[in-house]
Amino acid sequence: MIHLKSAREIEKIRASCRIAAEAMAEVVQDARPGVTTAQLDQVADSYIRSKGGTPSAKGYRGYPKSICVSVNEEVVHGIPGDLLLAEGDIIAVDIAVKKDGYHGDMNVSLAVGEAGPSAHRLMDATRRSLELGIEACVCGSRLGDVGHAIQSFVEGEGYSVVREYCGHGIGRAFHEEPQLLHFGQPSTGRRLESGTVFTVEPMVNEGGAEVVVLADNWTAVTRDGKLSAQFEHTVLITENGPDILSRFTDLPF
């Protein structure tokens, strides 16, 4: 069952998203060669707590860290640790925050130092697929319209969309209904209603769509070892079009 959010709830979600976005800016500033992914985790954790929030990921289903940092062929749920970032790596940073009982969630992919043109093309296409998905988040449309907008663009660019992971409703719970597949057929799935809040977070692979989960039971990597990228925003459905709760005019995401 989908819980349609009140104006008060929406502003609480937006406030949590604001902390996540500010923490993301701190992480992006510190993401450089020679820094470990654990150091980035600590930067985000410290910032989130300084603003009165808590990291949504910490302890969620046993997840051991405060954010996810997925490097190169890692698709999602990369666990921060001793890995030293290297020149040319690309990383997907997933930050979710809970404050005053409500969660906000976002993800940004970026290059560490100078990455090659193929990596930048992948990230640009992934970011564009997110924007097209958000544009399809129109009251009265269906979830399949959003997934189709993402899939048709991604595959037209010669990339593939990961099937195993999806966007999700968010609010009092970190993961709520509805689930949003980033592929699908238009005019299918649940109709979008004003007051629905969910994440749009396509994971796009340079090669095939298949993924493998590593022995840590969290980190998913591309089966073919090729690069993956992801971008995510928390989106509110309104009568006047999508309201991106995790986007702010003074931040670059």
Please provide the average confidence, as pLDDT, over all residues in the chain.
Answer: 98
- Predicted TM-score (pTM) of the model is 0.97
Q: What is the pLDDT of residue 175?
A: 98
* CA proximity to 243, closest of 11, 8, 2, 1: 11
For the beta carbon of residue 142, count every other beta carbon within 10 angstroms: 19
- The pLDDT-based confidence of 230 (bands split at 50, 70, 90) is very high
The answer to whether the beta carbons of residues 162 and 129 sit under 8 Å apart is no
Q: What is the pLDDT of residue 171?
A: 98
pLDDT digits (tens, 9 = 90+) for 175-227: 999 999 999 999 999 999 999 999 999 999 999 999 999 999 999 999 999 99
The string of DSSP letters for 101-148 reads: TEEEEEEEEEESSS--HHHHHHHHHHHHHHHHHHHT--TT-BHHHHHH
Q: Which domains are seen in the chain, by residue range?
A: 7-244 (3.90.230.10)
CA 9 – CA 15 distance, rounded (Å): 10
Angle of the 7-30 helix axis to the 37-50 helix axis, nearest 10: 140
User: Span 155-176, mean pLDDT?
Assistant: 98
Q: What is the pLDDT of residue 93?
A: 98
pLDDT digits (tens, 9 = 90+) for 16-73: 999 999 999 999 999 999 999 999 999 999 999 999 999 999 999 999 999 999 999 9
User: How much of the chain, in percent, has pLDDT values that exceed 90?
Assistant: 100
User: Span 117-143, mean pLDDT?
Assistant: 98
